[in-house]
Amino acid sequence: MEMMKINNLSKTFTTEKETQVKAVEDLTFDVRDGEFVCLVGPSGCGKTTILRIIAGLDTPTSGSIIWMTKNHSIGFVFQGESLLPWRSVWDNIAFGLEIEGRDEKEIKKEVSRLISLMGLEGFETSYPRELSGGMQKRVAIARAFSIDPDILLMDEPFVSLDAQTRNILQQEVLKIWEETKSTVIFITHNVDEAVYLADRVLILTPRPTKVKYEVPITLPRPRDRTEQSFIEVRKDILAKMRTEGD
């Protein structure tokens, strides 16, 4: 079942010098309920702008987003660090639940569950400044999932991490996603990451961006990056990205 449709979405920015920069143009795609979608494309093509429009943080110049459900909740994991520095790991994860007015017993149960899932045991009282980059991302992901969002937007959350930490966190995200059944839209420059995570990969053009190719990923999970079938899908996406400006 479709959760959301993006129809002919366009976004133009006006710079300080009053020049017009068209970031997105006639972008159209849909996202199905419970689907994990990865967006890949060149730097500066407008991927973050798309997520911000979906989240309601920016308004499109034209086009529309049609939600299939009347009410929907959205979680957002930003590329940069977004934890509240004055709150502990526990309190950062609990923040969204507190905003929603959940009772103390429910908050304790959900935060405890996510701390266990994300391997954060022993760090409950630590503050963001005391954590590594990878641990901070674990907290940010747990906080985003804590409100059980209908759709989770993730803007290159692992871009600054080393390969080993990135691979571990990919597994953690999939574990929570499979449990919660949330819909995920995930931005990445890393094709290997997209093939590992996604049900479907959307390849975007350079700015102004639109969808150039749509690649379903039908490989069974858990996926093995060394298997020939995985390698072939990755090669196909890389080949399509090389022709994205055609």
Range 82-90 average pLDDT: 93
Domain end among 107, 132, 148 = 148
For the cut 90, the answer to whether the pLDDT of residue 152 exceeds it is yes
138 shares a domain with 197: no
Predicted pLDDT at 202? 97
Range 114-134 average pLDDT: 93
157 shares a domain with 144: no
pTM: 0.91
Confidence of residue 211 (pLDDT cuts 50, 70, 90): very high
The whole-angstrom separation of Cα 193 and Cα 213 is 17
Confidence of residue 246 (pLDDT cuts 50, 70, 90): very low
Predicted pLDDT at 49? 92
Predicted pLDDT at 69? 81
To the nearest 10°, report the CA torsion of 138, 140, 146, 151. Answer: -110
For the cut 90, the answer to whether the pLDDT of residue 112 exceeds it is yes
178 shares a domain with 225: yes
> For residue 79, is it within any domain?
no
Length of the chain: 246
> For residue 217, is it within any domain?
yes
159 shares a domain with 223: yes
For the cut 90, the answer to whether the pLDDT of residue 120 exceeds it is yes
Provide the domain count of the chain.
2
Taking alpha carbons only, the member of 94, 61, 72, 60 closest to residue 185 is 72
Domain extent, residue 14, equals 2-72+150-242
